[in-house]
Chains A and B, each alone.
Chain A
Amino acid sequence: MRKTLVPAAVAVGAVLAALLVVRLTGNRYAWFAGYVVLQYIVLATAWNVLGGYTGYVNFGTAAFFATGAYTALVLVLTVRPPLPVMILAGGLTAGLLGLGIGYLTLRLRGVFFSIATLALAVVLQTFVMNWDLVGGAKGVSVIRPRPAVPFTDYAEYLFAVMAVLAAAAVSFAWWVEHSRLGRGLAAIRDNEEAAECMGVPTLRLKLFATTASGFLMGVAGAPFPYYVTLVEPLSVFSLDYAVNSLAMPMIGGTTTWLGPVVGAVLLGTAQQLATVTISSELNLLIVGVVLVGFVLLAPQGVVGLAGRLASRRRR
């Protein structure tokens, strides 16, 4: 039972450290930057449930993220529910989309599945571009409500919300990894046909993975309208999401819950720093270079590398 608290403790510690830094420096931009890093912890963790644990590489993170964001946007434009309701609705819609994608795995494996998820993002973007309610291609502005009670600043509130979501996502990944379910997913990743013949209900488990992964991505996207306040398709369907949510687990290590967290913190922070100090266009270049480096030199990611070094020292 004590082990269950590990990811939660890590998350709480990280958030408290971040809060402290922001409070001490008094730099409000840190809320925005921190929000993005936390959002990537959720996205990378979500991606890893399907990509790392189950072995199905999703190039369509943007589609699920956007499904969450646009579900929330439609709610903002119509009934204006509180933020938690938007998050839940965004997650459920994206989860439903994930369930649909899960049935694709019946016929599509490997690179073909990946291409299909990429196509999904393109199709959805085209759809949104032509949807007047959400502003079509030019987008729509939303006005933030007042933040919930203890908070005075909405950016601070969003940061706290995303921190809770990140902690929940990481705890969920930890639970999956250490359950019978996670071992079944690993069997699918290693050899799907053998897994099925060893009694693993592969379709049901894959549907679980795609649905849960989609849900978490939608959850990450739902607060986005209030974060940017101008919602337009190009930023919501940005390639950054697909590339980053894939690169972060790869860099951190795909086989454990810690990998995506490490990758998101390292890469996300580096990107935020580069955006402010050097150039906002440079951040994807950083991802590319770092990813190539890791694929060549440490294919098991930071976590795998650390584990290898530790076992070498023990000897």
Chain B
Amino acid sequence: MGALLEVRGVTKRFGGFRALAGVSLEVQQGERFGLIGPNGSGKTTLINCISGALASDGGTILFRGRDITGLPAHQRTRLGIARSFQIPRPFTSMTVLDNLLIPLEYAAPGRASRTDATAAAMETLELIGLAEKARLRPADLTQVDLRKLELARAMAARPALLISDEAMAGLSSAEVDAILPILLALNERGITIIMIEHIMRAVMRFSERIAVLDAGEKIAEGSPDEIVRDPRVEKAYLGE
């Protein structure tokens, strides 16, 4: 069986700026995959191309061997690719619980009745530690809880592949320690995870394999140990 996600030579331009210059990578079923790189290296653009929020200009994206390059984002979510946003984008007029009902009703396979969906949403909130705040609105949540909601909502889509876009940026190390186990627990349930993160401690601890982007190109890929020792990575981050 092939890879769960296969990115082949994906390019993306914004006017004259080349955000992605033919990036290829493969993510295996059940893997914990880290995606790192300096600011502006194209990480989020790549995620946008994979999730369908942006249309790529060239290259193909395969999910479970199926070409999804031309599919709109909501169909990719239904196929099993869910993402969280770097800056939380909750549905502000809804309660935390209702936020989860949207993906449960629209994306999760085997559409449940509303009562079943509510139970499933509560279960997810329980797992992520937001159950007591189910009736609150996003405006009443702390920054950490908003990040958790962002992850919980992506999880409610019942994805096979979860893309976490800097879920931990700006959090204290204690808060990072609160979120990391959640992602590990999800992975143990068989969900493949791509983690984009600036916090090296978290990425290194979490990932089985890491790819490094710099200026829209993949400059290295390998185990955390290999990446740390790679001179090209050091150059990308620190200069010569």
Contacts and interface: CB of A to CB of B under 8 A. Distances in A.
The judgment on whether A and B are partners is yes
B74 A190 contact: no
Contacts of B75: 201
A195 to B, nearest CB: 7
Interface string A178-210: 001001101101110111111111110000000
Given A197-B52, A198-B106, A199-B74, 13 more contacts: A180-B105, A184-B102, A184-B106, A187-B91, A190-B92, A191-B91, A193-B89, A194-B90, A196-B53, A197-B51, A197-B82, A197-B85, A198-B82
Given A199-B74, A199-B77, A202-B74, A194 B106 contact: no
Nearest to B163: A197
26 contacts: A183-B94, A183-B101, A184-B102, A187-B91, A189-B93, A190-B91, A190-B93, A194-B85, A194-B90, A194-B91, A196-B53, A197-B52, A197-B53, A197-B73, A197-B77, A197-B82, A198-B77, A198-B82, A198-B157, A199-B107, A199-B108, A200-B74, A200-B102, A201-B74, A202-B74, A203-B72
A255 B93 CA distance: 9
A187 B102 contact: yes
Interface in B81-100: 82-83, 85, 89-94, 98
Counting from the closest, the 9 A-B pairs by CB-CB distance are A199-B107, A199-B106, A190-B91, A194-B89, A199-B77, A198-B103, A196-B73, A191-B89, A187-B102
Interface centre among B72, B91, B98 (most CB of A within 10 A): B91
Interface class of chain A by DSSP: helix
Nearest to B101: A183
A202 B106 CA distance: 11
B153 interface: yes
B78 interface: yes
B101 A196 contact: no
Interface residues of B, number: 29
B106 to A, nearest CB: 4
B53 to A, nearest CB: 6
A180 B113 CA distance: 11
A193 B53 contact: yes
Interface string B157-193: 1000000000000000000000000000000000000
Interface in A200-225: 200-203
B74 A197 contact: yes
A203 B74 CA distance: 10
Contacts of A187: 91, 94, 102
Contacts of B83: 197
